[in-house]
Structures are given as structure tokens and as C-alpha cells.
Amino acid sequence: MSDVIRLGIAGTGRMAASMVQAVALTPGLVVQAVASGQPDRAKWFADACGVQEAMDTAAQMAASDSVDAIYVAGRTRDHAAAAQEALRAGKPVLVEKPLAADPDEARALVAAARKADCLLMENLWCLALPAYRALAEQLGSGSYGTPLHLHFDFGYPVRPDSYPSLFDAQDGGAILDRGVYGVSFALQLLGPVAQVDCVAQTDGHGVDLLSDIRLRHESGATSHVAVALNALMSNTASLACTHGCLGLGAPVVGSEVLQATQMLPQAAAQAVPGNAPGLKDRIRAAPFARRLKRRRDMSGGRFLAYGANPYLPVLAHFTGLIWAGQAESDLIPLDLSLRTQEVLQQARRQAFGG
């Protein structure tokens, strides 16, 4: 391999186009080829995006000596087959989320990657963002105590004619496309799940439009992940802990704002029933102090930029693993992807009464 990793992209949809833009900003990475089951589509995409080679199949691209690594975009139902071709060829592969259409496909992929000792990583790109990583680090420091509850919601209305794949009964819907963000984050922060409960609003044709997922973790902590294709949500996340609260500002998927509120040990003793208000209490109640507090709260948060493109951190992580010869990510481990798949499947079954 030269000093530049030549990436092949399986798929020609929105995510493939977005990845071309991100790769153009990533040092040491270039899009070399694109593959599609529709040759005319692959050639059109290559011409439109300035990609050197257009190929007919993912297998052809994986076998090509001009391609060093593969990114699998396209429909969720096609992820596993394309990723298996890359693994058979010994090529590192980044797979768009969700990793596969169901847990069985995901387990087969992970087994193949481990047998081949070849890098396989799900593109849970939010987990690589500076704000997400900083929140996990703050939690790991112990300063905020024990995490007890995560609330994560992600929703905004989209039209079926603009995003037809999201409204496909086989591999569309809010749970698969949007729930994967909150569920993977919950598992990363709070660990394995003991119980899944989900209710959903559906379109009557097998697609969940708005889903409410409740998780009880083995640690005793709980999570609430709400996702929607038909409603605007607050698009924020908050993690309640025994000694404070950590959060991500809107838009939660792509957030650059870490919010942190730490409860000082003396806070609980500041207000004692029956005691007359002291000087501090009177100052806090003053209109000027209230205005200052409101202004502080509105501007609160630590801005942690990801750069010119939100996919840059995950691409830097992926290429770093390739250069280091690593077969698995410590940031987005395969076991996390498998557990996420299992939770998503349980949620979907409950959403449709299965």
C-alpha cells in the first residue's frame, strides 16, 4: 500500500455521495472506484463525483488491485453481501449503519471478519465526534457519579418521495435508520440491555414512523430513545447521573455541543426547610441575577468542532486502524454493533406486535 489509501465505494446513493465529499477532505484517503449492480448508474456516479473507476459489482471492486479498502453504502439489505466480498478479498471494510438487516447477518459478518483477521467497522460515525467522545470521557472520570438514565431523541419530518428507502417495509423505518444512533450510544455508556420495550406509530404498511424505545440495562440504569420520520423532536440527549448531568446539544446527530452540569457536594444542604433565606438566596432571587442566570443557561455548553465535515473523525479513525494493522476498532467494537442489532430487532418486533 502506498501512502494513500484507495477507497472503493459500494453503492451510489445519498450516503455514497456524502462519503465522497468527506473523503476529499481526509488526508491520506482517496475514492478510487465505485460499484453498482446497475453499470450505467455506477458510470454516472463516477463521472458526476470525479471517481476514476466504475465497476459492475462489489465483488469486482473487492478483487481489484487498485482498491485498498471498501466502504459499503447502499440499501441496508445489501450491506452484508457487499461486506462479505470485501472480507473474502482481505480488504478492510467500513459498513454504513446499520451493519446488517438483522442480527444473524451481523453475526455472520463479524465471524467472517474475525476468522480472516480483517478490519470490519460499522459507520456509527457519531461515536467518533469530539462531543460524544468528551461526554464518554467525562462519564468515565467518575466526576458525575453513577449514570442512571439516558434520554435521546432524534426526529424530523421527511417525505417518502425524497427518501423512499426510509419508507421501505423491509429495511426502512425510524427504528433501523434513526434508532441505531441512540441505541448504540446507550449501550456504549450504560452497557448491555436486560429488557427492551417499544411502541410505535406505523403507516399501516410495515414502516414505523415514530417509535418510543425503552431500555433497562443490566446495570439497573434505564434509557429512553425516541425517533421519528414524521415529527420534529428536540434532537438532544441528556444523561442523568448521581452527581450531575451530561448532555449533547441539538442537533444530537452531529452535535458539537457538550453540556455538563455538576452537582457540588454542598448543594443538597444549601436549602434547609424552616430557615430564613440568607444573602445568597436573596441575591439569586433578584431580577438582575435571574437575567444573568437565564443568559448563562442559554449560552451554556462547550463547543467541540468536528471540522469541515461530520464524517471526518470516523474516517480518521478508520484510516488510522488500517495504517496500524488493527482488525477491530476499540471505539466502535464489533460486540457493540452486535448488541445494537439485537436491540433493534427486539424493538421492531414489538413495534409490529411480533
- Cell triple for residue 186? 446507550
Q: Measured between alpha carbons, how far is residue 242 from residues 128, 148, 192 in Å?
A: 26, 7, 20
Residue 55 in any domain: the answer is: yes
Domain around 96: 5-123
Residue 293 has what pLDDT? 55
Could you list the active site residues? 97
Residue ending a domain, among 102, 123, 144, is: 123
| Average pLDDT of the residues of the chain | 93
* 151 and 80 within one domain: no
Residue 301 has what pLDDT? 85
* 132 and 62 within one domain: no
* 149 and 58 within one domain: no
**DSSP 8-state class, residue 296:** H
* 173 and 56 within one domain: no
Contact (CB, 8 A) for 56 and 42: yes
Cα–Cα distance for residue pair 315/309, rounded to 1 Å: 10
Residue ending a domain, among 88, 123, 158, is: 123
Residue 313 in any domain: the answer is: no
Strand, coil or helix: 72: strand
Q: Measured between alpha carbons, how far is residue 68 from residues 33, 45, 90, 98, 260 in Å?
A: 10, 20, 9, 23, 41
Cα–Cα distance for residue pair 193/214, rounded to 1 Å: 10
* 346 and 205 within one domain: yes
Please write the tens of the pLDDT for every residue from 130-174. Answer: 999 999 999 999 999 999 999 999 999 999 999 999 999 988 999
Indicate the pTM of the whole model.
0.91
Residue 95 in any domain: the answer is: yes
- Cell triple for residue 253? 446527530
* 101 and 150 within one domain: no
CATH number, domain at 256?
A: 3.30.360.10
Residue 333 in any domain: the answer is: no
Task: List, in order, residues 6 or more apart from 239 with CB less than 8 Å away.
Answer: 135, 139, 147, 149, 150, 189, 245, 246, 247
pLDDT band at residue 353, thresholds of 50, 70 and 90? confident
Contact (CB, 8 A) for 178 and 184: no
Residue 290 in any domain: the answer is: no
Cα–Cα distance for residue pair 341/335, rounded to 1 Å: 10
Cα–Cα distance for residue pair 170/206, rounded to 1 Å: 8
How many helical (H) and strand (E) elements, i.e. helices and strands, does the chain have?
12, 14
Q: What is the mean pLDDT of residues 78-83?
A: 98
- Cell triple for residue 288? 438582575
Cis bond leading into 273, ω under 30°? no
Residue 281 in any domain: the answer is: no
Please choose, from the candidates 53, 62, 196, the residue with its C-alpha nearest in 3D space to the C-alpha of residue 116. 62
Q: What is the count of structural domains for the chain?
A: 2
Facing residues of 30 across strands? Answer: 6
Please write the tens of the pLDDT for every residue from 246-297. Answer: 999 999 999 999 999 998 765 545 544 555 566 766 666 677 766 655 555 4
Cα–Cα distance for residue pair 351/267, rounded to 1 Å: 42
Q: Measured between alpha carbons, how far is residue 141 from residues 136, 145, 336 in Å?
A: 9, 9, 21
Contact (CB, 8 A) for 240 and 149: yes
Q: Does the pLDDT at position 348 exceed 90?
A: yes
* 139 and 117 within one domain: no
- Cell triple for residue 112? 467472517
Residue 99 in any domain: the answer is: yes
* 163 and 304 within one domain: yes
User: What is the CB neighbour count within 10 angstroms for residue 179?
Assistant: 27
Q: What is the mean pLDDT of residues 226-247?
A: 98
* 53 and 110 within one domain: yes
Phi-psi region for residue 325, left (φ > 0), alpha (ψ -120 to 50) or beta? left
* 142 and 110 within one domain: no
Residue ending a domain, among 123, 153, 171, is: 123
Handedness of CA 48, 20, 167, 56 (dihedral sign): positive
Residue 280 in any domain: the answer is: no
CATH number, domain at 42?
A: 3.40.50.720
**DSSP 8-state class, residue 231:** S
* 234 and 144 within one domain: yes
The pLDDT > 90 percentage for the chain reads 87
Cα–Cα distance for residue pair 69/5, rounded to 1 Å: 7
- Cell triple for residue 282? 436573596
Q: Are strands 257-262 and 244-248 parallel, antiparallel or unpaired?
A: antiparallel
Task: Look at the block and give the residue holding cell 425516541.
Answer: 226
Please write the tens of the pLDDT for every residue from 19-74. Answer: 999 999 999 999 999 999 999 999 999 999 999 999 999 999 999 999 999 999 99
* 173 and 32 within one domain: no
Total length of the chain: 354
Residue 5 has what pLDDT? 99
The pLDDT > 70 percentage for the chain reads 90
Residue 268 has what pLDDT? 46
